[in-house]
Structure formats: C-alpha cells, structure tokens
Amino acid sequence: MKVLITGIAGFIGYFVSKKLIEKDFYIVGIDNINDYYSPELKYLRLEKLGISKENINYGYKTKSNKYQNLDFIKINLEDRSGIEKIFKEESFDYVIHLAAQAGVRYSLKYPFKYIDSNINGFMTILEGVRNNNVKHFIFASSSSVYGANKKTPFSENDRVDNPVSLYAATKKSNELMAYTYSHLFGIPSTGLRFFTVYGPLGRPDMAYFKFTNAIFNDREIEVYNFGKMKRDFTYIDDIVEGVFRLIQKVPENDNITTAPFKVYNIGNNHPVELLYFIEILEREIGKTAKKKFLPIQAGDVVETYADISELEKAVGFRPTTSIEEGLKRFVDWYKGEYMSLKAGLC
C-alpha cells in the first residue's frame, strides 16, 4: 500500500512515517521545511529516516538511504501544479495529511500564513485526493476546535462553532471542507482532533519544551492564567498508534451524515494541571523552576479534556502512557541527544 504523508519532517509526521515504514507501507513524504521553528530539527528527523539534507532539491524526489520504501519531496502545499504532479505519478492508496501552519499565538501575528497553508494548502491536497481514487483521506484537526467550551470532557458530538484563535478556525474549516468533499464525491475521510502532543524530538515552541529549556538554563518560565490551566497531554507513541489503527478503519456512509466521514478525538482522557506538569519536569531535571505568573493569553483556553469513547469503540484503543512516564522519556532525550546537538537546533 502506498501512502502520502504530508508534514513528514514535523513531529507527528516523522513518528507516523517511521511506524508505517516498519509495517512495510510504501511512504512518499512531503514537507516544505519552513522556519516556524528551527529547520535543523526538521532535518534531524529526516536524517533519522535516511533523507540527507544535501540531497534535497525542491520538487524532486529524494530516496532514503536507510529505507527502500521511503521517498521524500520538498514542496509547498500551495504549489498546485507540483502537488497535482505528485498525485498523478504516485497513485496513493491512502493520504495522511499532517502538514499545517501550527501554533495558536503565532496566528495572531502572521494570519496569512495560516490561510496559505491551512486553507489553500488543504484544498490542494483535497483536490489531489478527489481526482486520484484515494481509498481513505486522514487529516489532522485539533482539540483547539472546541474553543472555550465549558462542558468536559470534549466529545465529537459537541458543537464547535466558537473558536478562540485563527489557528482553531482553520482547523474547523478543514473539517467542514473535508466533510463537503466527502459528501459530494464520496471520499472516505477521517479527521483527528489531537490533544497537546508531546515527546522526544517534539516541537520547541510547545510549553513542555520551552519550560525544559528555561529550567535547564536557570531562566524564568511564564506560567499563564496563574497556573490555573489543564491540558490533556498525549504522548507521541499513543498518537501514532491511534493513527495507525484508524488507517484501515475506512468510514462508510451512515445515512445520517450523508457522507463517509468521521472525526475522532485522540487524547489521553486525563487532563493534567499545569503546576503539577511543571513539578514533574522539575523532578526529572533536578532543578526548581523560576516561575513568573501571568494572566491568560489571547487565544488560550483554560482546559482541554478528550472523550475518547468513539476512538475506543472504533479501534479498541486508548492511550496508556502516563504524564510521569512521558515527561521522563522526553527529559531523558533532552539530556542525551538534544543536548549533544543543541547548537544550531533552536
């Protein structure tokens, strides 16, 4: 089976690709390796997949020197003719669309990057799927679509009409766009609402990574909403397992939604208080954080909490990695590989 994975140099994209490669899927990965955070960390992930930075040329296929069943193409999602060419040449069975302009607060400063990537780029991928007989289209949504919903845990059946950031609005838009194409053209589509993904080789813009950097270097950490926040932190291995199990769980038309379309939460189903989260990091690092307590930021929500009963019912899976174990693995990676490579990464 041949799979297109967009955002392969990203955090989730790298780990999903690694899993599928090991399961003997043939992977074509694409990424534009943008500078939202250090491209060197993205190149490090690609290097681990056998894709050498020196061999990458925009628009051309780079073969892995480690895996025979992996090719990489550097390309922008908005490059319509380039993406169309890839679809026509490769004949994908499945498409896993993980590429996006990430970040809630970044969307307040650079809104057009979110429209270019998350709306126009998403449409480019949707058109590729529509015109090339893809068996299943899987795409990354986000827990941010729940906005400031008060009812917890968040269920896929809840209304999601009040996003509190442009990033969240683009993710909700993706769900609507995918549903429309599913309804009009019969494209089996699954949206995945990820809840605060963390782990080794993760994103340096995320709180756990920023806090770890600051604590190690005796810098102050900014604790928003005076620490009264909760997040449903989900370890990367659990995210990957959920994605893997859903690949061949192809939605069918249920005569209610009039489309072969499903959305699933993938979260830990166990929100963690921010101050306890920091306490675990302090314990694993062996240092006490210098905390600066601040009001909540624009675009932030107080709590995320996933109802994962639909995921469990569909594929018999629920995440198992505790926050204590997950952060220990992250800090061990940070102390080891990351510290040895830190210069130039972030």
Which domains are assigned to the chain?
2-198+232-269+305-322 (3.40.50.720)
Q: What does pTM read for this prediction?
A: 0.95
What 3-state class would DSSP assign to 193? strand
Expressed in angstroms, the distance from the first to the final Cα of the chain is 36
Establish whether 167 is a catalytic residue: yes
Which of the following is catalytic: 43, 167, 198, 235? 167
CB 190 within 8 A of CB 251: yes
In the chain, the amino acid numbered 68 is Q
What residues are paired with 29 via a beta bridge? 5, 72
Here the tokens at position 108 are: 């307040």
Alpha-carbon separation of residue 191 from 22, 62, 220 (angstroms) = 24, 29, 37
Q: Per-residue confidence of the chain (346 residues) as pLDDT tens digits? A: 999 999 999 999 999 999 999 999 999 999 999 999 999 999 999 999 999 999 999 999 999 999 999 999 999 999 999 999 999 999 999 999 999 999 988 998 999 999 999 999 999 999 999 999 999 999 999 999 999 888 999 999 999 999 999 999 999 999 999 999 999 999 999 999 999 999 999 999 999 999 999 999 999 999 999 889 999 999 999 999 999 999 999 999 876 678 999 999 999 999 999 999 999 999 999 999 999 999 988 878 888 899 999 999 999 999 999 999 999 999 999 999 998 877 655 4
CB 63 within 8 A of CB 71: yes
Helix, strand counts (H, E) of the chain: 13, 14
